[in-house]
Structure 1
Amino acid sequence: MTIRSDYRGPALFSGGFRPFFLAAMLFAIGVIPAWYLAWRGEIALGGPFPAVDWHIHEMIFGYGAAVVAGFLFTAVPNWTGRLPTRGWPLAGLLALWVAGRLALAGAFPLPPTGVLAIDQAFLLAVVAMIAREIVAGKNWRNLKVLVPVTLLWAANLAFHAEVQLEGTCDLSRRAGTALLIFLIMLIGGRIVPSFTRNWLAKAGAQRMPVPFNRFDGLCIGAGTIALVVWCVLPDTPLAGFAAAAAAGLHLGRLARWRGMASWRSPLLLMLHAAYLMIPLGFVSVAAAAAGLAGPDVPSHLFGIGAIGGMTVAVMMRASLGHTGRNLVAGPWLTASFVLVLLAALARLAGYEPLLKGIDGISLAAVFWTVAFALLATRLAPWLLTDKAAARAPNARVRTTAINRQI
């Protein structure tokens, strides 16, 4: 996005996508190697969570929450017509997020309740600040987006409580994952066909993606039911039945968006490929319920494939457009996305040896880390400066569609 003339601070804090996309990318580079070393017993984490629970929490409520915040603080000004949140408020919000990550890693000598108090403050502040902007702009129809974000905050509280009371997370980790998947079903289900329609129109295509209608509402409803059942009653026949139905509906939904017609645009095709991970995740829930897949397979298809893939694709597109670059992925960004999907597939192999005898878990960690290293190397310089936006004053017009689709 272009920096308005009355803003004189650092470019990093001129728009919500900049600090939180950058933080999410840098965090993604470091968090998986740290978990891998802790999991292998080579380093010790000083926080209140066991290594595996810390890993799960930080991917959902650390990485995932940062991307959600970056998207929302970029979208809300376009919904409300108000000035974007920037400068010190954004810097303060970023400081809350960083404090939560440090507290969970054991950087502060605090009891579990103290860590919880610091960690929950970020999402609570996001909800409060977004609610203030939406109410002040009288943009009532978008208040609904606060529901899943507020529930994500509640799931974070539940995660802390469950680890302390039960010794490990179970329900809350699935709830956190499910809420991020719901946001993708809701927001991705608007922006993916919209971007596809725009690209096909420019290419002179005759057939367009089917506009949002009652079938999309049915898909979201069925997906929500399947996610709730998976959270509460995983590996049961009911979970399998609900997930199988949701998988079929979401495959049908995706087919209506004409993704294959966009194969000449890798940046656009990424969005379709990432959304495909949702019905595949539902298929894995049904397979796990039938004893044909391990219970951790759905979490990794949803978490690495759908959430990782979609957040990477959205961060790419938003960063390119809002900093005035052409909407072209190029080899580095394309490789980054492909590596994220390869990480999801490798993780499904678990302890089985894959490439040159490296087990699936280790290979997934390598793929993920390299993917985000490529992503950050390419996007970070653009997020820290605004030179291209000054040369391309119409760039904002090309990209506000991502913020108007809810």
Structure 2
Amino acid sequence: MTSTAERYRTYQGPALFSMGFRPFFVLAALWAAIAVPVWVAAFNGWLPAEHFNRDWHAHEMVFGYLSGVIAGFLLTAVPNWTGRLPVTGAPLMGLVTLWCAGRVAMLAPNFALAPVFDASFLFVFALVIAREIIAGRNVRNIPVLALLCVLATANVLSHLRPFDPDLALLGERIGIGVVSMLVALIGGRIVPSFTRNWMAKQRMAPEPVASSRFDAIALGVAAIALSLWAAMPTHFATGLMLTLAGVLHLARLARWQGWRTHAEPLVLVLHVGYLWLCLGLLLSGLAILPLGVVPAASGLHALTAGAFGVMTLAVMTRASLGHTGQPLTATPRISAIYWLVNLGAALRVASPLLPDMYAPMLAASAFAWSGAFVWFVAVYAPLLLRRRVTISR
């Protein structure tokens, strides 16, 4: 029987379609680099604001960009989880084409079939992942499949805005909640694991604390808090649970000892990405509680621009190196990606706190955040489009 590694080695087609992360990471990064400036241009009146509005922006970040990154990650990870053969060649090309069709359709104002093109990708992709996980009897990752199915359903709800705006907003919040849980669930595996591996090579002790019942409690509280936020985004109980979830996940992050990895940005950035998740939960909770000190937009963008942006780039940069045989270390060019995305996130979170500076801070945030993805493509596209390339320092 052909192994996953052998399937990759014997693949003779275009390098771009030899592994799932290659096309999806490049295209998703390109889309992030394009979509945010498009929205900022519409915000400033340079493009039709009636189409490229806040709703379009939110949808394309959650169900456009993130669906592409999730696809690239899972198509690469699931064969390792299940031992089954990877999706390569024509089937992978079909999935990529379907994702691209959704993005093009969402660019067209008043295109009636845009929801069909867009929503179909996540459902088809969920079926692919379901086949692999079920056939591989990979029970541990059933929760990942379940979250993917919920994300696909949430995307459908987000397209119902012309009929029921509240239902569309519910779909958007569910989507953000699902991605937050994916960051907490998968991040809770890879962050301490990669940290432990790096510390072992450096002969550093003690290593990060092993997963325990505390991690399960933190995940459970986050799931409850995000579910409440999706259903009752301004309720006092929601604020309390989000705040508690933020505190618990800060404690969880501290157990992984990320501050000791400062010598290797490729590892440290994973901890920074998870820190943004903690801050997003905490700030979102404080925004609901009757203290009046945190704008809701700050908590929301700590999750989206911060946790989602930083963690996805952290995973994309590391996975692209590891799966193409490159050294697992961040060059100065790679570190620049991390500086840009974190700067963009910080400016976006801070901008609601300074109303008089909101417009210039928004523009600066978009420039830095999108610039991180432009730079990712510039640095990584040569590696992902060809079979073997060494990234210069």
TM-score band, normalised by shorter chain: over 0.9
Give the letter for the 2:302 counterpart: L
2:141 paired residue number: 142
- Residues 343 and 353 (structure 1), Cα distance of their counterparts in 2 relative to 1, 3 Å cut: farther
| Mapped contact 1:3–1:14 kept (Cα < 8 A) | no
Deviation string 1:321-341 (CA, Å, 9 cap, x unpaired) is: 111111111112212112111
Give ranges in structure 1 of 5+ residues lacking alignment: 390-406
Q: Is 1:231 aligned with 2:230?
A: yes
Residue pairs, 1:350-361, within 5 angstroms: 350=352, 352=355, 359-361=360-362
Q: Is 1:71 aligned with 2:70?
A: no
| Cα separation, 2, equivalents of 1:176 and 1:364 | 23
2:331 paired residue number: 330
Q: Secondary structure at the match of 2:45?
A: coil
2:115 paired residue number: 116
Q: Which has the higher contact order (CA 8 A, sep 6+)?
A: 1
TM-score when scaled to structure 1?
A: 0.90
Deviation string 1:78-127 (CA, Å, 9 cap, x unpaired) is: 122122100011111011111101111117x732xx22111111101110
Q: Is 1:152 aligned with 2:156?
A: no
| Cα separation, 1, equivalents of 2:16 and 2:7 | 10
2:270 paired residue number: 271
> Please, what is the CA RMSD of the aligned residues?
2.0
Deviation string 1:281-314 (CA, Å, 9 cap, x unpaired) is: 1221122113222222221110000010100000
Q: Is 1:125 aligned with 2:124?
A: yes
| Mapped contact 1:45–1:106 kept (Cα < 8 A) | no
Q: Secondary structure at the match of 1:210?
A: coil
Q: Is 1:292 aligned with 2:296?
A: no
Q: Secondary structure at the match of 1:4?
A: helix
Give the letter for the 1:331 counterpart: P
Shift of 1:50: 5.3
Q: Is 1:15 aligned with 2:14?
A: no
Greater alpha carbon shift after TM alignment, 223-232 vs 290-299: 290-299
Greater alpha carbon shift after TM alignment, 51-60 vs 235-244: 235-244
Shift of 1:169: 4.4
Give the letter for the 2:62 counterpart: I
Q: Secondary structure at the match of 1:359?
A: helix
| Mapped contact 1:3–1:386 kept (Cα < 8 A) | no
Give ranges in structure 2 of 5+ residues lacking alignment: none
| Cα separation, 1, equivalents of 2:343 and 2:167 | 28
| Cα separation, 2, equivalents of 1:206 and 1:285 | 35
Matching residue within 1, 4, 25 for 2:8: 4
1:189 paired residue number: 188
| Cα separation, 1, equivalents of 2:326 and 2:143 | 32
Matching residue within 43, 56, 59 for 1:39: 43
| Cα separation, 2, equivalents of 1:202 and 1:50 | 48
Q: Secondary structure at the match of 2:8?
A: coil
| Cα separation, 1, equivalents of 2:57 and 2:178 | 18
Structure 1: 4+ residue segments shifted above 6 A: none
| Cα separation, 2, equivalents of 1:187 and 1:224 | 14
| Cα separation, 1, equivalents of 2:8 and 2:205 | 39
- Residues 195 and 163 (structure 1), Cα distance of their counterparts in 2 relative to 1, 3 Å cut: farther
Shift of 1:166: 2.2
Q: Secondary structure at the match of 1:386?
A: coil
| Mapped contact 2:154–2:174 kept (Cα < 8 A) | yes
Matching residue within 78, 89, 93 for 2:91: 89
- Residues 142 and 287 (structure 1), Cα distance of their counterparts in 2 relative to 1, 3 Å cut: closer
Residue pairs, 1:302-381, within 5 angstroms: 302-348=303-349, 349-350=351-352, 352=355, 359-381=360-382
1:400 paired residue number: none
Shift of 1:163: 4.7
Give the letter for the 2:85 counterpart: L
Q: Secondary structure at the match of 2:218?
A: helix
- Residues 294 and 207 (structure 1), Cα distance of their counterparts in 2 relative to 1, 3 Å cut: same
Aligned residue pair count? 382
Shift of 1:368: 1.1
